[in-house]
Amino acid sequence: MRFRSLTELKRPELREVTLDSLPQSIAMDRYAHRKAFGIGEMVLDVHGESLEWYGFTLGTVERPDFITDIGLPHNDLNLQVYAGLSAERIAAFQESLPEGVVINGWIHSHGALMLKDFSHTDERNHEVVLDFVSATLKKPVAKREVAIRDLVFLVKDRFADEDLARGSVCIITDAPVREAVIMETVYGSFCHAIVVGDGGWHHQEIHTREYGVLSGHARTSHREAEVVLEDTGRAWSAADMEALREQVAGKISPNKNPPLETVERM
Ligand SMILES: [Zn+2]
């Protein structure tokens, strides 16, 4: 048998059907957007100086990609602990939330720092947050054909244990089968990552992960994303600002003795 070109030797394309998509931009309630910057203003007001802080972006089970609010956990500005956001801390915060509210990302401030982008430390935190939210935010995004070399078909009650020695995968059916296409579900999950700073600058990314249930094939990626503000009618009020004052006073405090090695961690 002769092939005219090497391309003819290529394996046939595997089938893939898209079922759903992961967010391309960050949809955010104006209320949450106002609150994100309100925290920084309140930090300045309460503590008289700009401080770095972190929080979680929140959504709902019904619409998990939409940021409806910002959750502020207790920030112990023991910087080394902060530098490593842990799954335990995220889980503890998730447990404190009302039913139906989910964490869909994280937000932090670089305060007055010059770095207007994510740092290496932030990159590690993206992974931890994505890992945590994946459990609740995953959804089927595709069905993808799995190529199985040396697939063996056997018929129920009509084979011996020795027959199982053949092939890489056996499919046992109730009637004889000669051909089958195996398609696995590809689950996708995402988390939002936002960094803000004094003067109102912000930078954000969406981090995604996809994995095939059968092949175990996993792929993570991230992209810069725009914030798309939406009005839900929930207005940011003076009472909200006062409530925020209490939260900021109780949950964020200056660290007078930051360990030297963490000074450049952001
Ligand atoms: Zn940072």
Instruction: Give distance in angstroms: CA of 95 to centre of ligand 1.
Output: 25
Residue scoring higher pLDDT (17 or 6): 17
Q: Which of 157, 181, 205 is the last residue of a domain?
A: 181
Instruction: Give distance in angstroms: CA of 265 to centre of ligand 1.
Output: 8
pLDDT reported for residue 194: 97
Instruction: Give distance in angstroms: CA of 113 to centre of ligand 1.
Output: 9
Shared domain check, 96 and 35: yes
Shared domain check, 230 and 160: no
pLDDT tens-digit readout, 165-217? 999 999 999 999 999 999 999 999 999 999 999 888 999 999 999 999 999 99
Shared domain check, 157 and 27: no
Instruction: Give distance in angstroms: CA of 79 to centre of ligand 1.
Output: 12
Instruction: Give distance in angstroms: CA of 230 to centre of ligand 1.
Output: 26
- Do the Cβ atoms of 252 and 53 come closer than 8 Å? yes
Shared domain check, 159 and 124: no
Distances (CA, A) of 168 to 165, 183, 244: 9, 17, 60
CATH number at residue 114: 3.40.140.10
- Flag whether pLDDT at 7 surpasses 50: yes
- Flag whether pLDDT at 146 surpasses 50: yes
Domain-located, residue 7: no
Instruction: Give distance in angstroms: CA of 53 to centre of ligand 1.
Output: 9
Shared domain check, 177 and 194: no
Shared domain check, 131 and 51: yes
Instruction: Give distance in angstroms: CA of 138 to centre of ligand 1.
Output: 26
pLDDT reported for residue 264: 46
pLDDT band at 2 (very low <50, low <70, confident <90, very high): low
pLDDT tens-digit readout, 66-109? 999 999 998 865 454 455 688 888 999 999 999 999 999 999 99
pLDDT tens-digit readout, 149-175? 999 999 999 999 999 999 999 999 999
Mean pLDDT of the chain: 89
pLDDT reported for residue 51: 86
Shared domain check, 212 and 133: yes
Shared domain check, 167 and 125: no
- Flag whether pLDDT at 258 surpasses 70: no
Shared domain check, 163 and 120: no
Domain-located, residue 117: yes
Q: Which residues of 76-93 are buried (b: 16+ CB within 10 A; e: fewer)?
A: ebebeebbebeeebbeeb
Instruction: Give distance in angstroms: CA of 9 to centre of ligand 1.
Output: 48
Residue 224 structural domain: 20-140+187-261
Give the tokens for residue 115.
């770095």
pLDDT reported for residue 120: 86
Number of domains making up the chain: 2
Shared domain check, 106 and 62: yes
User: Which has the minimum average pLDDT: 69-73, 113-117, 237-241?
Assistant: 113-117
pLDDT reported for residue 79: 53
